[in-house]
Amino acid sequence: MEFQAEYIVLFDRLQIRYYGIIIVIAMIIAATVAARLAKRDGRDPDHIWGALTWAIIPAIVLARLWFVIFPPASSVEQGMDTAWYLQNFFNTTNGAIAIWSGGLSIFGAVLGGFLGAYIYMRRNKLPIPAWLDIAGIALPLGQAIGRIANFVNQELYGAVTTLPWGINIDAEHRVSPYKSLVDYPTSTTRFHPLFLYEALLNIALFVVLLNLFSRRRKQFRYGDFFLIYLMGYSLIRFMLEFLRAEIAFIPGTTINSSQVTTAIIFVIALAVFILRRNQPTAAQVDAAQKAQTSVQ
């Protein structure tokens, strides 16, 4: 066994990347929290693990697909734009299929995971809004833990800073315009730890959602917590993109694809949240279902 900066080598050939280990740990912890919330809410926690099983593969596929459609500027500078990824789809070093080389988008991961979990919930005839609420609380916790993987890979950092918590980024992991070691020497240049900012803000979002769920769950509508998660994370990501060093643009433009995506998600989630204010609360829905059951 050999330990490298970003991976472990087993049997002189097999590489196990810390990134993957951390992501798996994040999923397990988030799913464990979700299972406990489900049990507290009077639901079968085994469905959390069932939905997670269905969510993993589509989450990975769409996370990579999103990266391919909206590659970061550093990849485009090297000639690896969307067309290149599609033309070199089976290139095992950097092609679209090479998820082990890095390049997974949180937007694609959430969308793919949602689709997989949605299919599972439909097959098992589960009340989707109620289960999405549980997912919406656990997701920011999982994302916060997963951001540690970005630290290991020296990615998701911001612009240069003189703040005391700035971090060093090795020359090989830098993007333009910070590649010049003359203008930005490794010994004195520090960068915003953007992954840490997002992790801390996600934890704060998790704490707020968990507190509301624990104390006022029945005052909200089923599905509200998931909508609040979408709005909260969209706002976090939109603001942090102003600091980000490596930006992904909409192909053929200089428009930040992440900010456009989060702005659209925020507006849609907010509109749905407002339009649902006249619908019955969780307490009213539960009371109506209990009354119906008693009559039957």
Residues 62 and 206 in one domain: yes
Is the pLDDT at 261 greater than 80? The verdict is yes
Residues 184 and 241 in one domain: no
Q: pLDDT class for 114, splitting at 50, 70, 90?
A: very high
Of 26-35, 68-77, 88-97, where does the model show the most confidence?
26-35
Mean pLDDT of all residues belonging to the chain? 90
Same domain, 148 and 178: no
Print the domain residue range for 271. 20-158+193-295
The verdict on 100 and 175 lying in the same domain is no
- The answer on 188 and 124 residing in a single domain is no
Whether residue 15 has pLDDT greater than 80 = no
What tokens does 128 get?
């989707």
Number of domains in the chain: 2
In-domain check, residue 176: yes
Q: Is the peptide bond before 129 cis (omega within 30 degrees of 0)?
A: no
Asked if residue 279 belongs to a domain, the reply is yes
Helix (H) or strand (E) holding 248: none
Question: Which of 8-17, 70-79, 267-276 is the most confident on average?
Answer: 267-276
Shared domain check, 59 and 29: yes
- What is the average per-residue pLDDT within 68-92? 89
Q: Which of 126, 128, 137, 141 is nearest to 213 (CA)?
A: 137
Do 173 and 100 belong to one domain?
no
pLDDT confidence band for 2 (50 / 70 / 90) = very low
- Of the two residues 120 and 93, the one the predictor is more confident about is 120
pTM: 0.91
Q: What is the pLDDT of residue 237?
A: 97
Within this chain, do residues 91 and 69 fall inside the same structural domain, yes or no? Answer: yes
Question: Which DSSP state fits 91?
Answer: -
